[in-house]
Amino acid sequence: MEDFSDSAQLGATPSNFNDPDQPLNSSLDEGLKALKQKNYAAAIAYLKPALQATRQSTVLRAQIGLVKAYQGTGQVEQAIALCQTLSTSTDPRTRSWAVQTLSDFAQRYPQANLALRGSFRSTRTPAAPHTPSPLVEPIDRTGFIPSENLSEISDPGLAEADTTGFVPLNPNPSTVRSTPIPPVENHPVVQSPDVGETAGTEPKIQADEIQTEQDDLANPFVLSADAEDSRADFASDVPTQIQMHTQLQPDSSEFRTTDPQIDSATGYFPVWRQAGRAQRWTPLGTVKQWRLWLVQIGTAIALFWIIQAVLQATHATANAVFSTLRLYRFVTYGFDPTWWIVYSLVALFCASPWLLNFLLRRFYGLKSLNLSRLENYSPESARVLKRICSQRRWPVPALGILPTAAPLALTYGCLPRKACIVVSQGLLEQLADDEIAAIYAGELGHIAHWDFAILSLVTLVMQIPYLLYWQVAQWGDRQQNPFIRGSLAVISAISYWLYRALRWSGLWLSRLRVYYSDRTAVEITGNPNALTRALLKIAIGTAEEIRRQKQTSNLLESFEMLTPLGYQTALSLGSVYAHLPLEQVLEWDRSNPYRNWLAVNNAHPPLGDRLQLLAFYARHWRLETELDLNTKPVYVSSRWSRRFGLQVAPFLGMPLGILAAVALWLVGGVAGLAQISSLEWLWGDRGILIALIPIGFSIGTFLRINPFFPDIKPSNLKVEPSLPDLLKNPAALPIDSLPVQLQGKLLGRQGIGNWLGQDLILDTQTGLIKIHHCSQLGQLGLLPQSLRPSELVHRSITVKGWFRRGATPWIDLELLQTQRDHAVGGIRKVQSAHPIWSTLLASLAALLGTYLIVRGGY
């Protein structure tokens, strides 16, 4: 991967950002740790100094922690006083938590009723109704509260009532927005045409389009006249729950002590820092793009090769079947699909914008979006599109919108002039103005780098088997005849396997290109912090949408490569944000030395890697960072460890088998020169070369089985561990195989479309995690069997298996069982067979290799 953090490319060495609250943050962390250990006296001692922090998120977490600590030491009056301070806040979430806590105090401590009575009179007054205008940011569906809104929490008039001695702060938001830097010698300095003239000006102000010749100096990736705006108005087609901006009331059922927005165990309260943007910035420098171009060429070759291999395998299988059935007239020889594949791919490439448009309209409800409607959500995005396209002398790309609450953005087409940028209603609703602009700028980066074209082709080709899998599965679910239903299930499964095979051709490009587009988005907007927030909100919104729909939508899965962030990356990360600071979960993404190897099956790189680079860009421009990623990653030894060697042993065994075969060839060659006839036959024997590949795979698999699937015993079984705690270890690998038992609700698709376990997710109290299941019949699980996991979706279950930390965390299932259900005769169980099939596969590979050696004749 290109080194995007090379200071030589940036033209200057970024300075370290000094955090004045660092000692107080440490005190806060120690206090919360003591609180979790129920050492309340120590917690109070550590948390009180944190009240003097300048950052409101730190103060708020300290206050909540103190409420719990005071309660734990029996100092109910102090807890009530501090809770009363929080209960008078105009922020609904903070007030609701405080009101609920005061209500709990009233039930637990009757002697405190007199002190509490007044607080309820003052806190149960409903908030004044609020109707947001089109230019006002909607309520954040992710649950975060911007730090600029926390000024409402710190009412100076309440300072006297706070017995902790805390005097709230009310910082001027303009001091946090950005820090302009002076011009650097020999580097042009660019003033953003998309932000206000002063540091404190919000980016959503109405302003005329600013024309400047210096825009070309701002970035090298800038994109004729405006394209004709789309005419269709689709507001009536958007689900009502997406269109409405509802102001939640304090007594809403969504706000309880167990509300995931406030972790009752640690007092953690997630808050957006709203770190600022650069008003004037120097270019980051150029990045060599030869690697991106090479990967694009490699992607096209890989796509061609996979299609050719599939067609040739299909032809060979058909010939074998016809020969067995003695239907020799159907047997064909000399089949060469090369040129048919080339012609078809060229035709699909040229037609990709229209074909993808048709598919999105037909199956996902795509509607046109015009610039004037986009301006209602993000005026800066409209200005960015006009400015960049004008500089590049391109027409403004065709814009579209998908009526889904999942935050998505897609760019596809065959040429920059035929490009289409599609976003979802969820992205426009959940992201702020500058964050939407950062996403659009990143999509323009894909157009500027041309990587969108080849990936559009890969995505289009993938839709053919995926749509077949999806539609045939739905058709099969409606069938009553077992034979027809089973036949359709086989067709659906084969189509899904083909989709997964084609997906491999574009994974490398899909992971690499986002580093380039992130850098482009930052150079266009001068706002790395907005892109950081945008990516995190996409992760949170995607996880919430999967939880709401109780399954992964076909749109999220089939178009994953074109999105800014994949649903697999977002699943666990986006669901644990309310329980601990995201920096702790992201530490694995930026510290684990094998993270890129473990992301080989993902469409996007580890998010922590990307956010680390965005923080680097922010520090280069002397900006505060949205996340505390200023410190060096946790050191984890990058030596070829035994653990990682075991992790990749089956795949490492295959090239080692080839090396062993080459060594035997050399032995045969030397024996021939020495006229040792008993060994001379080894020279050039292709049978050995072919046979040692499956034998190497077999040996590697046997070596890995015991560490990969350790016995699950009461002594090593972790019962109901916190998912955030499982994700925090930066040195964890899948081979660590932690036995766990978790309860939750099983999410996923129902029916034939999930017979292979393609979409199984456990929804626990602390987050979402993927489940891998292998039936007792292995991939023959399509055959009739008593019970499949897909028949238990949307039910409360208990799972037992091995937790694995990778780029996408998952649990290899050992046992799944439901709660007792008298309607179906008690508890229903599903047993998985991962160790059995791993052993069987290794044995078959060894037998195949032995057979090839004995057979010889190559």
pLDDT value of residue 460: 97
Q: Which two tokens stand for residue 797?
A: 């279950």
Identify which of 347, 217, 333, 367 has the alpha carbon closest to the alpha carbon of residue 282: 217
Whether residue 689 sits in one domain with residue 540: no
Whether residue 463 sits in one domain with residue 551: yes
Q: Which two tokens stand for residue 530?
A: 């907005």
pLDDT value of residue 630: 66
Whether residue 507 sits in one domain with residue 542: yes
Which residues constitute the domain of residue 821?
Answer: 718-827
Q: How far is CA 152 from CA 145, 202, 253, in A?
A: 11, 18, 23
DSSP 8-state secondary structure symbol assigned to residue 821: B
Whether residue 648 sits in one domain with residue 602: no
CA dihedral angle for residue 638, residue 642, residue 644, residue 646, rounded to 10 degrees: 170
Residues 172 and 103: their CA atoms lie apart, in Å, by 34
- Confidence band of 781 (pLDDT split at 50, 70, 90): low
Within a domain: 378: yes
Whether residue 538 sits in one domain with residue 461: yes
Neighbouring residues of 326: CB distance < 8 A, sequence distance ≥ 6: none
Residues 292 and 824: their CA atoms lie apart, in Å, by 56
Task: Using the 3D structure, point to which of 708, 734, 754 is the last residue of a domain.
Answer: 708
What are 20-33's pLDDT values in tens digits? 666 777 788 888 88
Whether residue 676 sits in one domain with residue 740: no
- For residue 807, what is the domain's CATH number? 2.40.50
**Partner residues linked to 271 by β-bridges:** 145
Angle at 192 between CA 187 and CA 196, to 5 degrees: 140
Q: How far is CA 794 from CA 76, 339, 550, 603, 720, in A?
A: 41, 48, 7, 27, 19
State mean pLDDT over 534-561.
95
Whether residue 439 sits in one domain with residue 477: yes
Give yes or no for a contact between 447 and 417, defined as CB atoms under 8 angstroms apart.
Answer: no
Neighbouring residues of 522: CB distance < 8 A, sequence distance ≥ 6: 284, 438, 528, 531, 614, 617
Provide the b/e sequence for 771-807 (b: ≥16 CB within 10 Å).
bebbbeeeeebbeeeeebbbebbeeebbbbbbbbbbb
Instruction: Kindly report the length of the chain.
Output: 858
Residues 185 and 579: their CA atoms lie apart, in Å, by 45
Residues 299 and 293: their CA atoms lie apart, in Å, by 10
Whether residue 122 sits in one domain with residue 61: yes
Task: Using the 3D structure, point to which of 708, 732, 755 is the last residue of a domain.
Answer: 708
Provide the b/e sequence for 140-159 (b: ≥16 CB within 10 Å).
bbbbbbbbbbbbebbeeebe
Long-range residue pairs from 295-302, CB within 8 A, at least 24 positions apart, any chain: 295/508, 295/509, 295/512, 296/450, 296/451, 296/454, 296/509, 298/508, 298/509, 299/454, 299/455, 299/458, 299/505, 299/506, 299/508, 299/509, 300/345, 300/454, 300/457, 302/504, 302/505
Angle at 350 between CA 349 and CA 353, to 5 degrees: 85
- Confidence band of 37 (pLDDT split at 50, 70, 90): confident
For the chain, the domain total comes to: 4
Residues 657 and 661: their CA atoms lie apart, in Å, by 6
Within a domain: 462: yes
State mean pLDDT over 785-794.
83
Within a domain: 170: yes
pLDDT value of residue 569: 92
Within a domain: 169: yes
Residue with the two structure tokens 């005329």: 208
CB atoms within 10 A of CB 677: 9
Whether residue 508 sits in one domain with residue 652: no
Residues 682 and 659: their CA atoms lie apart, in Å, by 14
Within a domain: 704: yes
Burial class from Cβ neighbours inside 10 Å (0-12, 13-18, 19+) for residue 441 reads: buried
Within a domain: 431: yes
**Partner residues linked to 740 by β-bridges:** 718, 801
- Confidence band of 813 (pLDDT split at 50, 70, 90): very high
Task: Using the 3D structure, point to which of 708, 731, 752 is the last residue of a domain.
Answer: 708
Whether residue 745 sits in one domain with residue 687: no
pLDDT value of residue 831: 86
Report the chain's mean pLDDT, rounded to a whole number.
78
Give yes or no for a contact between 83 and 102, defined as CB atoms under 8 angstroms apart.
Answer: yes
Whether residue 823 sits in one domain with residue 699: no
Whether residue 680 sits in one domain with residue 570: no
Q: Which two tokens stand for residue 63?
A: 């206050």
Within a domain: 724: yes
Within a domain: 275: no
Q: For residues 16 and 75, which has the higher predicted lDDT (pLDDT)?
A: 75
DSSP 8-state secondary structure symbol assigned to residue 181: -
pLDDT value of residue 638: 55
pLDDT value of residue 326: 83
What are 687-728's pLDDT values in tens digits? 788 889 999 999 999 999 999 999 999 999 999 999 999 998
